[in-house]
Amino acid sequence: DQQVKQNSPSLSVQEGRISILNCDYTNSMFDYFLWYKKYPAEGPTFLISISSIKDKNEDGRFTVFLNKSAKHLSLHIVPSQPGDSAVYFCAATLGQGGSEKLVFGKGTKLTVNP
């Protein structure tokens, strides 16, 4: 039973445009949501996170939106750059004092075309 779902295995966008990566979850107890980026032959790299008490968190070109009622979050990358091409994993965890377990989605492969 997948608690974190990324239903789009791949996404292709033009350089300079917006990339929107989506993630759905089923466990309403998740407190934090994270996005990791993974290049081939490298480990996942932390990108941005959001607490369940917020609906938006922004860091430079990256913005994560959380819709708790819909159990949905999205990562916006604006403007997209070719170096953003990677696999993006959505992950969720219980908060402080809770589980150390990061539950990952299956990932979305983003390709940014020059």
Partner 1 sequence: DTEVTQTPKHLVMGMTNKKSLKCEQHMGHRAMYWYKQKAKKPPELMFVYSYEKLSINESVPSRFSPECPNSSLLNLHLHALQPEDSALYLCASSQDRGFWEDQPQHFGDGTRLSIL
- Residues of this chain that interact with partner 1 (CB under 8 A) are 4, 31-32, 34, 36, 41-46, 49, 51, 89, 93-102, 104-107
As a residue count, the chain comes to 114
Pick the closer one to partner 1 by CB: 14 or 27. 27
Q: How far is the CB of 60 from partner 1 (least distance, A)?
A: 15
Pick the closer one to partner 1 by CB: 67 or 99. 99
Pick the closer one to partner 1 by CB: 77 or 105. 105
Q: How far is the CB of 42 from partner 1 (least distance, A)?
A: 5
